[in-house]
Chain A
Amino acid sequence: MPDNGWQVGIDIGGTFTDLVALLPATGEFRSIKVPTERNDPVASIKAALAAAGLKASEVDDLIHGTTLVTNAIVEDRVEPVALVATRGFEDVLEIGRAGRQHLYRLDLPPRRTSQVPAERRIGLAERVDHAGHAVLVPDAAAIAEVVRLAKASGVESVAVSLLHSYANPGHERAVGAALKAVIPFVSLSHEVNPETREFERTATTVLNASVMPIAARYLDQLQREVASTRLHVMHSAGGMASPEVAARRPLSMALSGPAAGISAAAHVAASLGLKKALSFDMGGTTTDVCLIVNGAAEISTDSKLAGRPVRQPMVAVESIGAGGGSLVTLGTGGLSIGPESAGAEPGPAAYGRGGTRPTVTDANAVLGYLDTTRRLGGAITLDVAAAETSLAPLARQLGIGVVELALGIQRVANATMVRALARVTVERGVDGRQCTLLAFGGAGPMHAARLAREFGIGEIVVPRFSSGFSALGCIVADMSYTQQQAVRMLSPQWDAGRFTVLHDSMLAALMEPLHAQGHRSEAIAIERTALVRYVGQSYAVEVPFAAPLDLERLGRDFRQRHREIYGYATEEHWEMQSLRMRALVARKPEFAELAGPGAMPSPTSVGPCWFEPAAPHQTPRYDRDLLPVGVRLAGPAVVEDAWSTVIVPPGYVLGADAMGHLWIKEG
């Protein structure tokens, strides 16, 4: 394959489409932002390429993160699905786990309703037991009837989820083969999520089935339109996948967008040699945080999206409904931020487009952090007076000044984010205070310093390309595939033969798409993670291991991790619940270093900004692109690029390195 053209990463967001392109041979790069074409991602991609002056023929690889699947799920615009289940268990989605989401709210339905209505639930008389023995084999007539009913239901996509199929997929395969002859899209639970617990597996499989037609149509169109380049999509575990694999398993793209940003964060953390980092991506309506250990994002396989379980390997991102556009309200329990947002229209009051309710961004405007003379991306003019007016009623209610309120809003916003940071670190047994904070997204660099102090973090990096970071994540991502499979083997009764068979067949399945793309086995790295628990526990601890498996060592590593996370460990037997493997082809894009030390530019302006404790400081503003390598800038200072603002409060020092990253520390 020719490898002398451009590597292009594109992230299609709700408002803007970002592009970052790199020519590896020379280290030349381009980055650009264009408005997203509503409901036409392919047009957005073409517009971004054109704006960057790139022709499809000059591009080797085009990698993109897409919110297509995410939005379809969150906005409930998925396709109808029929479900084939073991007879007697057709209502598995309706029953779920029987819990409710709100303890005290009688006005809200206790949980989301089933995705498959009763008339499209099809029972099959069959049974496999927990050990994989076929107890009742479905006969041909029963399978034919299932196919007839599925066809008659009129849907394009069918999910099959039979009891204990993770232990023996035979029955699912037989039904799947018969269905595929007459139904365009079929999802089998043992392929989508070969793990135990029927509700979660079935829900995941049905969700996959319901986005399959959407993903297939889109990927097909995209491939036709950019035919001359190799196309890849970001998957939720922070790697890139071929369109063929993505079309078969579209649910693997459920977190494609956030995963791209986290992929970039992982790349930066690895290149800087950071042992533990927290990515902090604060946007308009949400904030995503993720733990990155030794340059790799933590992965979760037990998440939810829009209230539905999604058991797929995904970056372990914690998303909270608070961002720059989140509304500030004084209600029950005190001051709260979000989850309601001013949205893109009208947006915060400070954007001068008719917003009147106070947001986090309005507080920042009142504090002087946003430059009134600049236009955000040339699209928005700031109106500080409107921001003040929006905050005034709340300030009156609390009997304090507008500035004091604005500082308070910052603190409360940071407190909600601190909870998210705590969650992603606590669940992994990591002391968050030892992490470096990687701040990006529109509002991340503005809040980073205060947030870091609140959480006890001493070091912040605002990486290069921080406002087009997800697009960067696309071109630095490894080509990777991840699979997880139930094992359920006890340490004293280890069946090495069975383990090897399982391991090798998973490995072959993971390597297949990489081989198909022309990668040789030597270039493919394999990462293995055992999910281990004590007998009787439900939740496993992740323990990485190398082949060949050393049982003794695995047990030792497990006990150590258990102690780190839960504070105790015993010498009891353990069980390997599942095996997760990741096959990857590493890509090491090199960006050219920036020119060496230069002259310190003069500030673009100087004006008052407020910080805690409330007092105005005359604060200089600098253009980020003009800051020389090696600069040391003492706060208070504001550093801006076209898209985002970095706040350096008093008592902090900002530095810039040769890679274009900004470092902020307490000085």
Chain B
Amino acid sequence: MKNSVDPFTVEVIRHALTAAAEEMSFVVMRSARSPLLREAGDLSSAITDHKGDLIAQGRDIPIHLGVMSFTVKKFLERVPAERMQPGDVWFLNLPEVGGNHLPDVKAIRPIFLEGRLFAFAVSLAHWGDIGGAWAGSYFAAATETWQEGVRIPPLRLVTADGIDEEKRDFLLANLRGPAEREGDLLAQVASTRAAEARLVRLCEEHGAATIRAALDRLDDLSEAQMREAIAGLPDGIYEGEDFLDDDGPGGKPAAIRVRIEIAGDRASFDFSDTDDAVAGPLNTTPFVAMAAVYYAIKAVAGPEIQPNGGCYRALKVRTRPGSILEPGIDKPVVGGNHETSQRAVDAIMKAFEQAVPERLTAGGSTTAGLLIFGGKRRDGATGTFYETHGGGEGARADRDGLPVVRVHLTNTMNTPAEIVEAEYMIRVDEQRLRAGSGGAGRHRGGEGMVRTYTVLGDGLSLTTMFERRVVAPYGLQGGEDGAPFRVTLHRAGTSRELSGKENLALAVGDRVVMETSGGGGYGKA
């Protein structure tokens, strides 16, 4: 029966499924409560088949999109398909269940067509707080996963009869800002319901067998395209390394190393030489390493290839147990999700500099540039203001880098100053380009940004989680590095540069000056 479906039906089904995934993100963004989702868009949506292979994804955040297929596959190892019922929505956040870090909570709805399990709708949303030692759930001093928040194994929170209030209340009792979290949770449930409605409608039209045949064909098509894209890279072995700023509080830089082998239409990525797991929360999971590879190969070789299960058949990824990229389940990982993952991408890009430099951008502001202000909002409720800060994009062989943009694995947006000031006891004093921060070169790296916050209320706390403070964004082909990241705390006439991983209490009148990194230049000036 395979490939019996005509190419036009395939295209019709592809459009419908992509539209369904995009609709999921729309529903979360429009109806969620925390600014992290509704303003910054720190969420993603995907639809997988009954085995967990990706069928369709929204236009969201590459790091999320890369792990979601693993989430479903690992989820299926824990929860056999026989236990799933129409109307279920399962929640989970364990990094070892195909995950990335505890705050990214996944809602998974099994979708039944013609009476059989056919697909899963997965809504991933970054919850502004998942409990643990510090508001916002980024505990800089964490040495084990249990300090980082509530660990949710697959939990059937919703059934056809509605939400299980006891489970919900147990969960919310362990989180700061429960009202915000509940709104976010309901938005995720609603988004998976929307996907289900779309698939049911599609099935009425075409029947499950035709949809399945179309999916097989799309898988084969993507595989063929990916193989062709890889074949377009020169054969060889390319090595690259990039560094985390430190391997723990006050430590030295830690290396992420990759050895890429391109042989015909196959590519393998071996991270075995990466340093051992670090003391703090900058470790990550093998799934995140794979998401980094998926992103990088698409960006370098085949940006328009439809991502699905077939797309990645030609790729092999290896990580070493005990390393930063496969640290074991007890290790803290909260920052690794968006910092170490970017290091893996940068290591890959540096390796590809030996093969196809003209296709790459120089090092950009590849860090979340995260500040979390915890405490009371203006309306008195507990809330966390979680803000990622964009910096300069690296230059390319044919153009300058853009200023202040999200680079590679992330694509969150900033929160407008007017929203920050209306909702939190914080004033944004300025937000301007950081002049001269882009690296010089034949083409210049993009400028970073300066944003200054003044604390107006008592009892606020601050978390930093950023990289590129010590190891600056690199230039390519002789271009100069961009300026490194810098965050300075001004308090009562004194000032202190903050490290990239800190938790501290703030006082009224404190000023936090954020200077984001510039992009690296390309070519000798």
Contacts and interface: CB of A to CB of B under 8 A. Distances in A.
Contact of A332 (B304, B399, B416): B304
A151 to B, nearest CB: 24
A196 B416 contact: yes
B503 interface: no
28 contacts: A88-B452, A89-B417, A91-B431, A91-B433, A94-B403, A95-B433, A95-B449, A98-B389, A98-B390, A98-B404, A103-B62, A105-B303, A106-B360, A110-B393, A129-B421, A130-B422, A197-B416, A197-B418, A198-B418, A199-B416, A411-B9, A414-B12, A454-B12, A456-B201, A538-B29, A538-B39, A567-B194, A568-B189
A615 to B, nearest CB: 16
Contact of B38 (A199, A422, A539): A539
Contacts of B390: 95, 98
B519 to A, nearest CB: 11
B385 to A, nearest CB: 12
A443 to B, nearest CB: 18
B12 A411 contact: yes
A95 B403 contact: yes
A456 B34 CA distance: 36
B11 interface: yes
B186 A568 contact: yes
A512 interface: no
B492 interface: no
Given A418-B16, A566-B187, A412 B8 contact: yes
Q: 10 nearest interchain CB pairs?
A: A88-B430, A98-B390, A408-B8, A538-B38, A104-B303, A536-B33, A130-B422, A97-B413, A415-B12, A566-B31
B396 A537 contact: no
Q: Output the residue of A104, A130, A197, A562 with the most chain B CB within 10 A.
A: A104
Contact of A88 (B34, B299, B432): B432
Given A100-B411, A335-B7, A107 B396 contact: yes
Interface residues of A, number: 69
A130 B424 CA distance: 11
Interface in A328-354: 331-336
Contacts of B359: 106-107
B32 interface: yes
A625 interface: no
A22 B85 CA distance: 62
A164 interface: yes
A97 to B, nearest CB: 4
Given A99-B41, A106-B300, 15 more contacts: A89-B431, A90-B432, A97-B416, A98-B390, A98-B412, A104-B295, A107-B398, A164-B421, A335-B7, A335-B11, A409-B8, A411-B9, A415-B11, A416-B15, A422-B19
Nearest to B41: A99
Interface of A: 87-92, 94-100, 102-107, 109-111, 113, 129-130, 163-164, 196-200, 331-336, 398, 407-409, 411-412, 414-416, 418-419, 422-423, 426-427, 454, 456, 488, 534-539, 562, 565-568, 570, 572
Given A89-B431, A95-B433, A333 B16 contact: no
Interface in B207-241: 218, 221-222, 225
Interface string B396-422: 101100111110000111101111011
Given A91-B432, A163-B418, A415 B406 contact: no
A427 B26 contact: yes
Nearest to A427: B26
Interface of A is mostly: loop
B406 A333 contact: no
B35 interface: yes
B6 interface: yes
Nearest to B37: A538
A535 B11 contact: no
A538 B8 contact: no
B298 interface: yes
Interface hub of B32, B59, B421, B432 (most chain A Cβ within 10 A)? B432
A536 B378 CA distance: 12
A88 B221 contact: no
B422 A539 contact: no
A572 B183 CA distance: 10
Contact of A106 (B225, B396, B421): B396
Contacts of A107: 359, 396, 398
A90 B432 CA distance: 7
Interface in B71-126: none
A537 B32 contact: yes
A537 B411 contact: no
Contacts of A336: 11
B30 interface: yes
Given A91-B431, A335-B8, A411-B8, A418 B15 contact: yes
B417 A110 contact: no
Contact of A412 (B11, B23, B298, B417): B11
Interface-centre pick from B10, B39, B298, B402 (highest chain A CB count, 10 A): B402
Given A102-B303, A412-B11, A198 B406 contact: no
Nearest to A539: B30
Contacts of A87: 430
Contacts of B38: 537-539
Which of B39, B189, B433 has the most C-beta atoms of chain A within 10 angstroms of its own C-beta?
B433
B62 A104 contact: yes
B302 interface: yes
B7 A408 contact: yes
Contacts of A565: 30-31
A439 to B, nearest CB: 20
A111 B407 CA distance: 12
B190 interface: yes
Given A98-B413, A197-B416, A198-B418, A333 B306 contact: yes
A334 B412 CA distance: 30
B361 A106 contact: yes
